[in-house]
């Protein structure tokens, strides 16, 4: 591991006085640069945002400067990080479950390929370990452990690191969301039009990217990080800030766990780069870029899934679909996810209002209702992508099922919106058809914190 020239400032290391922290180091957390040359971040490298500091810095223009920023960790996060960094494995068994609950969880895993899989129930049955349990099962059923000669203990340790690096206090961007996206990805990898062409490497990449695509998410979006001059925004030059951080953090955990250390160097380099390409594709700001490419391929009928490049592109599309598939779930689960993501929006809006920052699109609880947010999201983001995915799959039974749920859920939200308007005696925007470019941009900017 190469050393960086740094200047100590309290609990944070800075590369130089003129920049925000490019290397945040506390309790042993450092950015790594391996032999591949791809910068990586150690698990837990994302500094919790201390919003109390904004109160003192908003007017002075010193948000995020080295004199003001502090790395605040909860005791629990410090305890886990410090023990793991010293090589001490927690003694408490991860799956300390009642046998009845464990039996129900096993029964659910036998139906993990069903679209009505209830990830919330599964998380309760696994005592909050849905991501670890699901990934261990899927790696085994897909034959990845045998094919890549993975050590099961090391795999489990890596997955625990990933799961623990999600922030449980986030209403939406937490480990349950990651597990939900991974289960959806598993369903998409089984689509007949895709499955017969996939290699074990493709499957492993798809599952790993799904599991880690939002790791260490702070619960606020990129515009928030930019306008508060957060060090990650500076580090990644305001481009796919969160997605770059998710990717680099994932690389850091892979290297720290040594899960793939036994594989050839060239192969691990390729895996790291492809994971980056997949995770970066989830940036909602690149939605039109990928949608246009997919439409062009389908129109020209030139997708050749025997070709690794085209397979990788469809893995990117599959991950994008999995990431925003909540509106395509059954109403009971879809509604719960919608309420969770809007709660995360509103929390950000409350913080912005408290510290006299401009409230981001869709984050104003007084103006942006859950039904209106969801109708716009479905109309401008979800429907266009899933219509093209259905074209790709040849209108498979799963695609038809998802589009049916999507139409039903949109009708439910419209009904709820109409009731709200009747109570208030007002008429809201109509999201039933194609919207303006400005409306679409607004929805995209606020689509995922």
What residues form the annotated binding site for AMP? 173-177, 214, 323, 374
Contact 406, 327 (CB under 8 A): yes
Distance CA 415, CA 170 (A): 28
Half-sphere exposure of residue 423, counting CA atoms within 13 Å on the CB side?
Answer: 6
Distance CA 57, CA 62 (A): 5
Helix/strand/coil percentages in the chain, nearest 5: 60, 5, 40
Q: Could you tell me how far CA 70 lies from the centroid of its own chain?
A: 25
Distance CA 210, CA 212 (A): 6
Distance CA 209, CA 76 (A): 26
Distance CA 26, CA 423 (A): 52
Give yes or no: 309 in active site: no
193: buried, middle or exposed (CB in 10 Å: 19+, 13-18, 0-12)? middle
* Strands of 6-115, DSSP E: 7-9, 12-14, 31-33, 39-41
Q: Is the alpha carbon torsion for 137, 139, 143, 147 positive or negative?
A: negative
CA-based nearest residue to 183, from 134, 129, 133:
134
Q: Which residues are annotated as a binding site for Zn(2+)?
A: 177, 213-214, 323
Of 80, 142, 167, 173, catalytic: 173
Catalytic residue numbers read: 173
């Amino acid at each position: 591991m190469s050393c960086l020239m740094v200047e100590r400032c309290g609990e944070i290391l800075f590369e130089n006085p003129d920049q925000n922290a490019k290397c945040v180091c506390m309790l042993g957390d450092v950015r790594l640069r391996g032999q591949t040359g791809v910068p990586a971040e150690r698990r837990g490298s994302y500094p919790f945002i201390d919003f109390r500091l904004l109160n003192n810095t908003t007017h002075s223009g010193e948000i995020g400067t080295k004199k003001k920023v502090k790395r605040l960790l909860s005791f629990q996060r410090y305890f886990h990080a410090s023990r793991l960094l010293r090589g001490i494995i927690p003694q408490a068994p991860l799956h300390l479950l009642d046998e009845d609950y464990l039996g129900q969880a096993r029964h659910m895993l036998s139906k993990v390929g069903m679209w009505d899989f209830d990830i919330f129930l599964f998380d309760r049955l696994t005592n909050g370990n849905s991501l670890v349990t699901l990934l261990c099962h899927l790696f085994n059923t897909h034959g990845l452990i045998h094919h890549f000669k993975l050590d099961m203990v090391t795999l489990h340790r890596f997955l625990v690191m990933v799961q623990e690096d999600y922030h449980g206090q986030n209403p939406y961007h937490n480990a349950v969301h990651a597990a939900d996206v991974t289960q959806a990805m598993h369903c998409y990898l089984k689509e007949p039009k895709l499955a017969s062409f996939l290699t074990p490497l493709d499957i492993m990449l798809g599952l790993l990217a799904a599991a880690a695509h939002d790791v260490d998410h702070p619960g606020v979006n990129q515009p928030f990080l930019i306008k508060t001059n957060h060090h990650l925004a500076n580090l990644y030059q305001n481009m796919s800030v969160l997605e770059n951080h998710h990717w680099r953090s994932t690389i850091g955990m892979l290297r720290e766990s040594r899960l793939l250390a036994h594989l050839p160097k060239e192969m691990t380099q390729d895996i790291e780069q492809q994971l980056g390409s997949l995770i970066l594709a989830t940036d909602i700001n690149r939605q039109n870029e990928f949608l246009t490419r997919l439409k062009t391929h389908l129109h020209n009928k030139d997708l050749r899934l025997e070709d690794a490049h085209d397979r990788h592109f469809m893995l990117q599309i599959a991950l994008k679909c999995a990431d925003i598939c909540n509106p395509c779930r059954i109403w009971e689960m879809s509604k719960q996810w919608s309420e969770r993501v809007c709660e995360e929006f509103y929390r950000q809006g409350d913080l912005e209002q408290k510290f006299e920052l401009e409230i981001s699109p869709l984050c104003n609880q007084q103006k942006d209702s859950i039904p209106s947010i969801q109708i716009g999201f479905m109309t401008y983001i979800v429907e266009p992508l899933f219509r093209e995915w259905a074209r790709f799959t040849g209108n498979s039974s799963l695609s038809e099922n998802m589009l049916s749920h999507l139409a039903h859920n949109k009708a439910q939200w419209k009904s709820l919106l109409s009731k709200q308007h009747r109570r208030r005696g007002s008429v809201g925007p109509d999201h039933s058809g194609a919207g303006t470019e400005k409306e679409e941009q607004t929805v995209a900017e606020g689509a995922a914190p």
